[in-house]
Structure 1
């Protein structure tokens, strides 16, 4: 099993022995001092949060630092720190927060048991390494160290409050969620830098690629940008609220180019500036409410910390794999170089090394390509006696002349070839893919080429299978996207008439009104109803009625502008939205639609039907400025038109206090 971090330094072992069961008086004193310091630090963190953050955001606060301190202590030293956690939490509850003793005991018990459960689970599965270098360890840290620990601590606080007054199920769940969020945010904010600080002797599994100057300048620029955002930039309108989340970019660069330790400490500095700005009433998160500013800062703590933990683990895993591969390649190159030097000493030595090679090797003259020697593995691969065949050259095993010329050109330019893919064929004509590496050596005054060959036909087959599967998956995804697009269209379209449905109208009309009225332009609304439609259904059947509605919807859609909107409002009623159209033009348009319907008979199954419509007209802002009132005005006008004899249009009456205007046009 690969170890990501070296064993802790000796002082860490001494610290563990110091926290073990004390035997001597000196050990007892040290043990007591460590526990006392931890308890004081726990209470001090709680006092700091209560002093600076609670006035702006009632308890539970956005970030509860003692939760992160407790988890880091348990991960570092184990379960023997529970007295410090319990006493520190009890002192904090009674002396700082003023909680009555029974409630304080419950809250302190939850604050101690939660980190113990999460921290001991992490210690048991991480085997002494920090839980930030493997994705599995990160997820274990998130669910056990953050989720479970915060849940138990928040449950203790909730029980402490319920000891005197039960808040009810809804309020209890709300308090539990708020407490969990505060403990989880505090753990994500405070535990990682503390663990990196305690493990100062550890090293990252991947060497840093950035120089110290690059790291220092990048960190300084990032902290300067964070200071400007959270301490210098005031944003009362919330225009720049999304800018702080871009700081994750330099954090990812630091994790990839420097180390996870540097990235987490840089994140700690950024989040510290965010919390300071929110508590101090400055920065992009500060608006009308200081509590909202702290909540935004807390959400940034959650999102940035979780993103850094997951992406940092992925970067560490990939970097570790690349480092192992680089070391393996470096070792292989050293072995090849050593064997090449030995082959150059004598031909006999060359043959011994070639025969002992664990992979197929072929020795050929550079001048004419004649094979002078091949080991047993090469002869089994090519199915023949290569070095004993008179005049057999390496060119005979290339499938195409182009591939042979390409290898020859590379050898002339560089003198060697590493891991070059090429198609070869054996003496029986079987064609296969191979990975070849060539090196020039001098033997007896003649330049030879040693060629190492690896059959990669199976890998190529797997790559082809994977490519085929990817293409099939891509095609399947395209089909799913097409189906999703069709489903979205069905959600907003009436299946019978092809026009928009009422759901789309209820969503789009308020937006159209708000946008058009903001531009100072009117919006006209036409409520249209097919006259005596029930008589059509009763006389000719519902299928004929469906044909009438479908044809009517198509004619209305074809008679409107591209930015107009026609919707089936219900039954035989249609509602037409005319953005930017005045009342006079809307009346003319309604009259035109009435005549179009009146003058064009409709073919319904085997019947030719003459259909007329009644129309109610309303215009915003004359009749109403909101969607519901404007639809009601048009519907009222439609009712008047139908009551006046149908086959006509009627304009809605303006509200009281405005000049009345009523227009009724009939055929």
Structure 2
């Protein structure tokens, strides 16, 4: 790591030293120190989330600046004793620089590595030992030997001792480790980061080559060129740092974040090969590809590795759209897995497409929750419909109630009028129903009403509206039926009631009914007119002996419906009281 063993005796003492002006030596090393300082300041200012990488680069630059300044003094136009002290003082910078370089190579791989306290303590041992050894070298001469070394004479005359070579071996081991890590990082880096890694690799090789040449003595008495090689390294890395944003824009996202997220992430090359995948993606691919492809899936055609995903056409081209996620279901370990896969292009700093990244999201639970939510919403809708239906249903007979009849009658009449079709209205009333309640009890009366409602459901045509108007009275609205067809329906119901008893179980009685029939437009053109006409016809049926069907007479005398009903109810009550038990 230092200058050549000794100048050649045959050349003469001062001839070689004068070959290169000491001031030039001094200025060259000072320039290297300036480069290191600039890089150190930039690294510490730009450290951002990648503290280990920035700190390693910054420490390397500080150590390089120290080393360059020490060498500047050791070769400058100074007293030999000053040069000797400076030459020995350069070794702490050497020891720290090689350790920092190894850390830089390790952290620059982008795995999120941070040196532990044990690593830092181990790397501190050699700089401390070499500092103590170099400082006490005149007493033991285990680092440099010879009379000049013992008296702090001309550093060019020093001879390298065993501890120097041990220090050199340690330094080269660390440098080699850093180079291997940098080379490995370059080889395995995604395409978007390879240019950065190549600059780092190139910058790392320069000082190594310079130092190897220096150890052979090829540089003679020109001084130690190793700091200059490291200055080149710092300059190249500084360029990558300032122009390529080496510290911030690096594979840290891929190695730290993507490696640790649970969503599968895959990178495909432009020719459709799998070039990268995080652990979640590899696990999924191995589970779906089967053992026939083995475990080394990186580098294989993605259409082959992902053949069961359905994302590629017959020619192996990716068909997943960037703006529309693909939804697919895979069977993993006998269990269905729903995936949502999005494809996005990978581009470099110049906007050139260098591949495609696929991000798969497991939406199995989301789909299950969505299905449960849809089912719950359907249940809520059914309950709402049931409640709404119950609000317009008669709780005893389950027919529509009077409220629903009045809400629907108007629209039905409007549709009939718009289509130029007739519409029949049938009003039915069970005869002497008060006597049924008085003689057989209200439970029997309820059973009769329920049976009558069921008979209505069996007899009325599809599309007709049957409702309980109140008490023992029912109303049927039949779209498309004229007065005659309405009367036929009413007569059918009357005959069934006359022939078949009403009720259920032990609560069965014979009960006839009377009916009044009206029709649009012959009996009226409004809801009120039609109900009034049918009600008058029902009164006529009651008035003529009950168990009859009467049609509304066109142009009949208009009479208030309420008055008709009150009079009919009064007549029924009188007749029930007068009828024999």
Indicate the structure whose relative CO is greater, using CA pairs within 8 Å and at least 6 residues apart: 2
Larger Rg: 2
Same fold (TM over 0.5): no
The normalised TM-score by structure 1 is 0.35
The normalised TM-score by structure 2 is 0.39
